Amino acid sequence: MLTRIDHIGIACFDLDATVEFYRATYGFEVFHTEVNEEQGVREAMLRINGTDDGGASWIQLLEPTREDSTVAKWLARNGEGVHHIAFGTDDVDGAAETIGGRGVRVLYDEPRRGSMGSRITFLHPKDCHGVLTELVTSATSAPEGESGGH
């Protein structure tokens, strides 16, 4: 059902400065950037490595674009740092249904668009030992004609 750690989402106040830190300190380069208007974030995806299932593992840096976004509210409460962990799956709908059937609240009725054309949903952190958890089907593993994001 879950095939890998897809990414670790890190909330930051200044995306450009945080990207520069990860580049200068670890040698990670930006693979993709985008603004997700629905989620109110500007993001950068830094590819860490490939995985056995053909996917990849990423660091996702998130800067809020508006004060009412979930990431902005989280930053106001917690400051910069790890915001969520995302697990990759080839079937986000099925994984959400299975995990929801085990008593974990799924935050979206239907998966939404995420980074790089992926499909995503989130699991309630109170049901996951305090960890906001995302389920991701990458665009490359999504059924034909479907798209979404991180």
Active-site entry in 39, 43, 63, 83: 43
CB 118 within 8 A of CB 106: no
Q: Is 7 a catalytic residue?
A: yes
Would you give the end-to-end CA distance of the chain in angstroms?
18
Q: What does the DSSP 8-state code read for residue 148?
A: B
Q: Is 20 a catalytic residue?
A: no
Cα–Cα distance, 134 to 139 (Å, whole number): 15
Active-site entry in 39, 60, 63, 83: 60
| Entry field: residues in the chain | 150
Please give the backbone phi and psi of residue 63, each rounded to the nearest 5 degrees, phi first.
Answer: -115, 125
Active-site entry in 7, 63, 83, 150: 7
Active-site entry in 39, 83, 134, 150: 134
Active-site entry in 39, 83, 84, 150: 84
Q: Is 150 a catalytic residue?
A: no
The DSSP result for 70-139, as a single string, is: HHHHHHHHH-SEEEEEEEE-S-HHHHHHHHHTTTPPBS-SS-EE-GGGBEEEEE-GGGTTT--EEEEE-T
So which residues are the catalytic ones?
7, 43, 60, 84, 134
